[in-house]
Structure 1
Amino acid sequence: MEKKENAFRFDKKSFLIAAAIFIIEVLIALYITDNFIRPYVGDVLVVILIYYFVKAFVHIGVWPLAIATLLFSYLIETLQYFHIVKLIGLGDNKFANIVIGNSFAWEDIMAYTIGITIVVLIETYSIKRKTASNERLL
C-alpha cells in the first residue's frame, strides 16, 4: 500500500522567503512614497508573499497554488471595485483599508499576474535544477 503524503507540513525555506518579502513590504509601506515601487513593485511582491506563505504550510503543486493565489488576488481586487471595506462597515478602519485595499486598478491586476509569472518561473527552474541534480547522483 502506498503511503499518502500529508498535505500539511512546514517548509522552512518557503516561510523564510515569505517573511523576508513581508519585511520588504513593510519597509516599502513605511518609507517609500514614489509612484512606481510602492504601487507596482509592492503589488508584484504581495502575490509572491501570499504564494510562499501558503507553500510554507501546505504541500501543493506549483500550478495549483499559483492559480489559487492569482485568483485570490483578483478576487480581492474585484472586491475593491465594489468598495467592500465600506460595505462591511470598516471604511474608517485604517488596517482594513491597508490589508484589503479600497480602490480597483487594472494595473494591480497586471502586477499580480507579473508576480505569479515570476513565481512560476522561479519554481519551475528550481524543480528542473533539483531533478537534474538528482539524476547526476544516480
Structure 2
Amino acid sequence: MIRFSLHRCLISLTLLAILVFIALYVKDSFIRPFIGDVLVVIWIYACVTTVVQCKPWVASLGVLLFAYSIEWAQYVQVLTWLGLADHTALRIIFGATFDWLDLLAYTIGCGICLLDEHRPQLSPSR
C-alpha cells in the first residue's frame, strides 16, 4: 500500500545527515565501517516505510535481502564484470570489498528496526 509518512520521512532525513557526517568526518575502524552499516540499513528501512505501508517483518526482510544482495555483488565483483569498477560514485554506493561483518551489521540493523516497531508506544498522559 502506498502512503506518505512525514514522521518516517523526518527519521530518514535525520539518518541521512548522520550517515553523511560519518562518511565525511569519522575515520576510524568501528563507527564508520560497522555502525555506519547498521545505520544504513535502518535508513533504507525508514525510506521504504516512508512510502510503503506493510508489515514490519516484510519491510525488514526486503531491506535485509537488498543489503545482502549488495554484499554478494561485492563478493563476485559485479562492478568489475560490468566494466564499471573505475566509476568512483558507483564504488562508493555499492562498496568495493566484501566483508562478513557487514552481513552481521545489516542483520543487527534490521533487528533494531523490528524491535523498534514492536516496542510499546507511549501514549500521552491525560
Q: TM-score range by the shorter chain?
A: over 0.9
> 1:46-80 CA distances to partner (integer Å, 9 max, x unpaired)?
00000000100111110100011101100110010
Identical aligned residues as a percent: 42
Partner of 1:55: 49
Measured after TM superposition, the shift of residue 88 of structure 1 is 1.6
Match 1:77 to one of 63, 68, 71: 71
Aligned to 2:105: 111
Mapped partners of 1:15, 1:61: distance in 2: 18
Alignment match, 1:121: 115
Q: Spell out structure 1 runs of 4+ moving beyond 4 A.
A: none
1:129 positional shift:
2.1
In structure 2, what is the equivalent of residue 4 of structure 1? none
Say whether 1:43 aligns with 2:37: yes
Give 1:90's aligned residue.
84
Distance in 2 between residues matched to 1:22 and 1:86, nearest whole Å: 28
Instruction: Tell me how far apart the structure 2 counterparts of residues 41 and 15 of structure 1 sit (CA, whole Å).
Output: 21
Give the alignment's TM-score, normalised by structure 1.
0.86
Shift of 1:17: 0.7
CA distance in 1, matches of 2:5, 2:82: 35
SS across alignment from 2:118: helix
SS of the aligned residue for 1:91 comes to coil
Bigger Rg, structure 1 or 2: 1
User: Does structure 2 retain, via aligned residues, the 8 Å contact 1:84–1:102?
Assistant: no
Give aligned pairs, total: 126
2:31 and 2:118 mapped to 1: Cα distance? Answer: 26
